[in-house]
Amino acid sequence: MIEYYVKLRYFPGDPLEEIREEDLKSLEKNNNKIKISYEKIENRVLQNGLLMENTMDKPIEEISQEVITVSSDSEDDFSTCIKQLYEKYRCPRTSYSLMGSNDSGRKIARGLMNMYGGW
């Protein structure tokens, strides 16, 4: 059985609205074949009135971002969930936005980006 697994990396300013864990849990609850997790990484500091972050020579996992991880063994349920996330927050916007995904999950997520205006 194929497992679909994707990490959607939203960097500061990417999502259309605030990503809330309760919204993700509600989405997960509506489909018991989907597993969703969320992680917020914040390493920016206030300097001269601006939020700044030095990202040079840092692994991607340490750069400020919000990561929504979606997994499922059902292609249809996985695709539906990704579409719903894209409709709510929009598609992630960088070439690194799917880093850490498996091939089957990345293929679906990228294909849906093309359909829903991400790239």
- pLDDT of amino acid 95: 82
Mean pLDDT of the chain: 92
Query: Tell me: the pLDDT tens digits for 60-80?
Result: 999 999 999 999 999 999 999
> How far is residue 58's CA from residue 43's CA, in Å, rounded to a whole number?
11
CA angle 61, 66, 69 (to 5 degrees): 80
> How far is residue 15's CA from residue 18's CA, in Å, rounded to a whole number?
7
> How far is residue 6's CA from residue 65's CA, in Å, rounded to a whole number?
15
> How far is residue 73's CA from residue 11's CA, in Å, rounded to a whole number?
27
- pLDDT of amino acid 32: 83
- pLDDT of amino acid 59: 93
DSSP summary character for residue 12: T
- pLDDT of amino acid 117: 66
Query: Tell me: the pLDDT tens digits for 41-54?
Result: 999 999 999 999 99
Q: What is the pTM of this model?
A: 0.91
Query: Tell me: the pLDDT tens digits for 1-18?
Result: 899 999 999 999 889 999
SS3 73: coil
Domain region containing 11: 4-115
Find the CATH number of the domain harbouring 59: 3.30.70
The owner of tokens 């989907």 is 34
Q: How many domains does the chain have?
A: 1
SS3 117: coil
Percent of the chain's residues with pLDDT above 70: 97
Residue 46 backbone phi and psi in degrees, to 5: -80, 120
**Per-residue pLDDT for 118 more than 60?**
no
